[in-house]
Chain A
Amino acid sequence: MFLSSLFERRRSLRDRGVLGMNQRNNAYIGRYNDRAKFPVVDNKVTSKKLAIEAGVAVPKLLHIIRTQYEIFALRPELEQLDEFVIKPAKGSGGKGILVITGREGNEWVKASGSRVTFDDIERHISNTLGGLYSLGGNSDIAMIEGLIKADPVFNRFSFEGVPDIRTIVFQGYPVMAMMRLATRSSDGKANLHQGAVGVGLDLATGKSLKAVQFDRQVNHHPDTGHSFADLSIPHWRRLLELSSACFDMTGLGYLGVDIVLDRIHGPLILELNARPGLAIQIANGQGLLPRLKTIEGLPKTHALATERVDYAQVTFSEHEPAWIPAQKSELETA
């Protein structure tokens, strides 16, 4: 009885095209992601340099600190900055990120409102270099970035933290996207299994499809109370093109791209992930497999990011497409 209901569920998940962990590892990450290219993505400094070379928009890189003695030389440079973020290159889970939002006399103001002196910053960087925040405990590199100021559009939907948009890019085609919004129960973190809200996004329009928290559908943000129904991502097209360009940049066939929307600079690549999770399927109420198979079934993939985004926006649209881009017709005739 119990067993048959399990088989029943297995079949219906398969019908929905839900991608499981084994299949993701074996058939996608294992096959499309070259092991040798992983370090590029796992190290924020190298992936950032790659992005700058490729002309992909990223938060501004201000400094890289590789050795302890460089910290002293840093002082005059830092004195001129009021807002910046210090990150470990190989950090995980948001550990070791120091966000400075302002300046008061000789002291800097952290995002939480508390003050730090240059000595505190120096110690933080020193710890970072020593490997305090890298999971393997290996020595690390610290980088200083410009501060991201979240687009105020999302103020209604987010409790603390900067919301980000995760897109799964398969062989250069964006196949699924979701926005991750921090909540009080996720403690300001954008991690879905800790209680952040995942909002599935329509690839054609950037509008919300469905929102889930703890794998259950929600209609309103649990803290701000705002309805997710009218959530719509600005700069959507540009955001997708940016995600798609990350494939050309890294060569990774199965890639998770995390993007933030900056008030001034628009979409910026925050992080790349060579082993993106599967929760995006729950947020979208859709399995990834049919879309991945569609791309795999293409006789020839498109060379340009814009072409791939066009294809994805039309093919993977959830709502009826409101408009058909001009390039579309050209593509089909070609």
Chain B
Amino acid sequence: MNSNKKQVLFVVMALVVLGLSVAIYKNVSLGFPFFPGESALIWDVEAKVTFKAEDGPAMVSLAMPEPGGHYSILDSTHATPGYGFRSVEHDGVERVEWTRRTASGQQNLYYKIKVQDSLPETAVSPGVGVSDDNERVAGATLYFPELEGAYRVAADNLIDTIRAQSSDDLSFASLLISSLNETKSRPNAAFLNDLLSSHNSVTRYTRVDLIMKLLQDAGLPVRKVRGVMLENSRRNQPLVDMVEVLTGKDWHMLNPQSGAEGMPKNFMPWQRGGVSLLDITGGHNSRITFSALSRSVPVSELAVTAARHSRAALVDFSLYSLPIEEQNAYRYILLVPIGTLIVVLMRILVGLKTSGTFMPVLISLAFLQTRLLPGVVIFVSIVSIGLWIRFVLSRLNLLLVARISSVVIVVIGIMAGMSVLSYKMGIQQSMSVTFFPMIILAWTIERMSILWEEEGPMDVLISGGGSLLVAVLSYVAMTNRFIEHLTFNFPELLLCVLGFTLLLGQYTGYRLLELRRFRPMVED
């Protein structure tokens, strides 16, 4: 027994020392910061091109993000085994090209750029107003199918009305876009909105096309800007379209949904005007999606880190070398050990009862998506409605697998019902109910109802409350900025967590709640 304890202690020491020394090495030599605060934000933006090759030579040409804007590109990398790669300049636009003699089947090409959020002062104006006469021409020659008949009349009416209500070109454009949302008060706008629905027999317009057509008809030079929304942990998102109008000397960006003026804070323009984004020869079904991930890099060592990163000889200990999609997944996965550590602490040191050992961790992962309060409300309501349904089901004398399947179906029904109901009531958060693991919920309901039958409602309350408490605690731990920073930037610290868990596995002392349980034994 003693040698066993010594062995565990030795392993624990080894794990902790290893984890800590790698972390310290990364901090001292590679310049990874221990604290999330002391750093600058840089974004990894990854473009993923997928297409089906036609068993022949394939050429993929992707437009590079334009210079300008408030994001500056630090570095770019590409991951495309088997392809030749080069960057070319074509009509003043920088493009990257992948080529291959024979390609067949599904192809995935990755192109990753690192961008840094520049000084916020420069963000106000795109600052490309003067030097783009050629683009102005490109904007003017944009062709949209003509509006005809009643649509023409409605468009003219709308343009006239809005022109009367606006003070200058910019406010006109902004008002025109927002008027398209006011389908109730503006019959002309409602009529034009018809063009957007797919069943319309006339040429189909997208909303952006329609806006640009209207602005063009009103005599304003317009162009389309396509870009990426830099939002953390968003995966596989398509490009977002914005509209720019030329008033006076400057291009002004407008949000085609709301009409809001100016570039959205986290919008990174990728391509402007008529330049084609993606050209593929020798393939079809092409698709381009973007993922973005922010991370912090110490300001002073930004350049150093970037330099190290590009030099492949230096071993990179981090997960940054993975494609961003996977990195985003690991952001969550790496938090799971923190959750399990909380479970271990609560069960071994405190003695809380939970229904299902690691169910609380899964619930808290769902809380990460829903935020805490809506998450708790959703969880409690699904489980209580589910329990009630389960009682009805138990009268039918069903076998277990059939019973749980029925509960799963009912849980999905409840989730859908909640989403629709709360959306109608204007509560957006409950849409995220889909993040709850429904099979786990169904099992939880099943276990709780068995507990109810065998031990009574009190025990259900105790184990349900225990699960919820543990879930909330691990949510709090997981959302802690410092912990999140450490787990993602120093995954080797998991070795320390592992060591601590091993140590807890050896704990034979009393649990906190046992001190209360056995109180009668010391009081008499």
Q: A and B: real partners? A: yes
B332 to chain A, nearest CB (A): 30
Known contacts A132-B397, A287-B521; is A23 also within 8 Å of B508 by CB? yes
Q: Nearest A residue to B451 by beta-carbon distance?
A: A93
Interface residue count on the A side (C-beta < 8 Å): 36
Binary contact readout B1-32 vs A (1 if CB under 8 angstroms, 0 otherwise): 10000000000000000000000000000000
A residues less than 8 Å from B521 (CB atoms): 13, 16, 18, 281-282, 285, 287
A residues less than 8 Å from B510 (CB atoms): 10, 13-14, 18, 20, 22
Known contacts A9-B519, A10-B515, A287-B521; is A127 also within 8 Å of B456 by CB? no
A-facing residues in B396-420 (Cβ within 8 Å): 397, 399-401, 404
B residues less than 8 Å from A13 (CB atoms): 510, 514-515, 518, 521-522
The CA of A319 and the CA of B347, in the complex, are separated in Å by 38
Q: Are B515 and A6 in contact (CB under 8 A)?
A: yes
A residues less than 8 Å from B1 (CB atoms): 31
What is A's interface to B at a CB cutoff of 8 Å? 6, 9-10, 12-14, 16, 18, 20-23, 26-27, 31, 92-95, 127, 130-132, 135, 137, 191, 193-194, 212, 215-217, 281-282, 285, 287
Q: Are B397 and A20 in contact (CB under 8 A)?
A: no
The CA of A6 and the CA of B517, in the complex, are separated in Å by 12
Q: Are A26 and B519 in contact (CB under 8 A)?
A: no
Q: Are A217 and B519 in contact (CB under 8 A)?
A: no
B439 to chain A, nearest CB (A): 14
Q: Is B41 an interface residue (CB 8 A)?
A: no
Q: Are A132 and B399 in contact (CB under 8 A)?
A: yes
Seed contacts A10-B510, A13-B515, A132-B400; 12 additional CB < 8 Å A-B pairs = A13-B514, A18-B521, A20-B508, A21-B351, A21-B514, A22-B510, A127-B397, A131-B400, A137-B400, A137-B404, A191-B455, A282-B518
Q: Is B121 an interface residue (CB 8 A)?
A: no
Q: Are A16 and B454 in contact (CB under 8 A)?
A: no
B residues less than 8 Å from A20 (CB atoms): 508-511, 514
B343 to chain A, nearest CB (A): 15
B388 to chain A, nearest CB (A): 21
- Number of A-B pairs, beta carbon distance below 8 Å: 81
A43 to chain B, nearest CB (A): 18
The CA of A6 and the CA of B454, in the complex, are separated in Å by 33
B residues less than 8 Å from A191 (CB atoms): 455
A residues less than 8 Å from B456 (CB atoms): 194
A residues less than 8 Å from B511 (CB atoms): 20-22
B residues less than 8 Å from A21 (CB atoms): 351, 511, 514
* Residue from B1, B399, B508 having most chain A Cβ neighbours under 10 A: B508
B residues less than 8 Å from A212 (CB atoms): 520
The CA of A282 and the CA of B517, in the complex, are separated in Å by 9
Pull 26 A–B residue pairs with CB atoms less than 8 Å apart, ordered by A. A10-B510, A10-B515, A13-B514, A14-B510, A16-B521, A16-B522, A18-B510, A20-B508, A20-B514, A21-B351, A22-B510, A26-B505, A26-B507, A31-B1, A92-B454, A94-B454, A95-B454, A127-B397, A132-B397, A132-B399, A132-B400, A212-B520, A215-B520, A281-B521, A285-B524, A287-B521
Q: Are A93 and B455 in contact (CB under 8 A)?
A: yes
A34 to chain B, nearest CB (A): 16
Known contacts A10-B510, A282-B521; is A93 also within 8 Å of B454 by CB? yes
Q: Is B495 an interface residue (CB 8 A)?
A: no
The CA of A92 and the CA of B517, in the complex, are separated in Å by 24
B353 to chain A, nearest CB (A): 11
A-facing residues in B478-524 (Cβ within 8 Å): 505-512, 514-515, 517-522, 524
B363 to chain A, nearest CB (A): 22
A-facing residues in B306-344 (Cβ within 8 Å): none
A-facing residues in B373-403 (Cβ within 8 Å): 397, 399-401
B residues less than 8 Å from A16 (CB atoms): 521-522
Q: Are A26 and B522 in contact (CB under 8 A)?
A: no
The CA of A229 and the CA of B455, in the complex, are separated in Å by 29
The CA of A93 and the CA of B348, in the complex, are separated in Å by 25
The CA of A191 and the CA of B521, in the complex, are separated in Å by 19
Q: Are B508 and A27 in contact (CB under 8 A)?
A: yes
Q: Are A12 and B522 in contact (CB under 8 A)?
A: yes
A125 to chain B, nearest CB (A): 14
A residues less than 8 Å from B454 (CB atoms): 92-95
A residues less than 8 Å from B368 (CB atoms): none
Q: Is B450 an interface residue (CB 8 A)?
A: yes
B residues less than 8 Å from A285 (CB atoms): 521, 524
A81 to chain B, nearest CB (A): 25
The CA of A13 and the CA of B511, in the complex, are separated in Å by 12
B residues less than 8 Å from A216 (CB atoms): 520
Q: Nearest B residue to A130 by beta-carbon distance?
A: B399
Binary contact readout B428-450 vs A (1 if CB under 8 angstroms, 0 otherwise): 00000000000000000000001
Option from B507, B518, B524 in Cβ contact (under 8 Å) with A18: B518
The CA of A9 and the CA of B518, in the complex, are separated in Å by 9
A residues less than 8 Å from B401 (CB atoms): 137
A134 to chain B, nearest CB (A): 8
The CA of A68 and the CA of B424, in the complex, are separated in Å by 52
A residues less than 8 Å from B348 (CB atoms): 22
Q: Are A22 and B455 in contact (CB under 8 A)?
A: no
Q: Nearest B residue to A8 by beta-carbon distance?
A: B522
The CA of A18 and the CA of B518, in the complex, are separated in Å by 8
Q: Nearest B residue to A186 by beta-carbon distance?
A: B456
The CA of A191 and the CA of B507, in the complex, are separated in Å by 28
Q: Nearest A residue to B504 by beta-carbon distance?
A: A22
B residues less than 8 Å from A92 (CB atoms): 454
The CA of A142 and the CA of B454, in the complex, are separated in Å by 20
B residues less than 8 Å from A130 (CB atoms): 399
A residues less than 8 Å from B509 (CB atoms): 10, 20, 22-23
Q: Nearest B residue to A286 by beta-carbon distance?
A: B521
A residues less than 8 Å from B514 (CB atoms): 13, 20-21
Option from A26, A94, A127, A217 in Cβ contact (under 8 Å) with B508: A26
The CA of A215 and the CA of B524, in the complex, are separated in Å by 12
A residues less than 8 Å from B455 (CB atoms): 93, 191, 193-194
Q: Are B506 and A26 in contact (CB under 8 A)?
A: yes
Q: Are B399 and A137 in contact (CB under 8 A)?
A: yes
Q: Are B520 and A282 in contact (CB under 8 A)?
A: yes
A residues less than 8 Å from B505 (CB atoms): 26
Q: Are B399 and A131 in contact (CB under 8 A)?
A: yes
A194 to chain B, nearest CB (A): 7
The CA of A92 and the CA of B454, in the complex, are separated in Å by 9
The CA of A20 and the CA of B515, in the complex, are separated in Å by 9
A149 to chain B, nearest CB (A): 26
Q: Are A217 and B515 in contact (CB under 8 A)?
A: no
A residues less than 8 Å from B351 (CB atoms): 21
A residues less than 8 Å from B512 (CB atoms): 6
* Residue from B401, B455, B512, B514 having most chain A Cβ neighbours under 10 A: B514
B42 to chain A, nearest CB (A): 45
The CA of A149 and the CA of B404, in the complex, are separated in Å by 38
Option from B450, B506, B517, B520 in Cβ contact (under 8 Å) with A217: B520
B406 to chain A, nearest CB (A): 13
Known contacts A20-B509, A285-B524; is A9 also within 8 Å of B397 by CB? no
A residues less than 8 Å from B397 (CB atoms): 127, 132
Q: Nearest B residue to A136 by beta-carbon distance?
A: B400
Q: Are B515 and A22 in contact (CB under 8 A)?
A: no
The CA of A212 and the CA of B521, in the complex, are separated in Å by 11
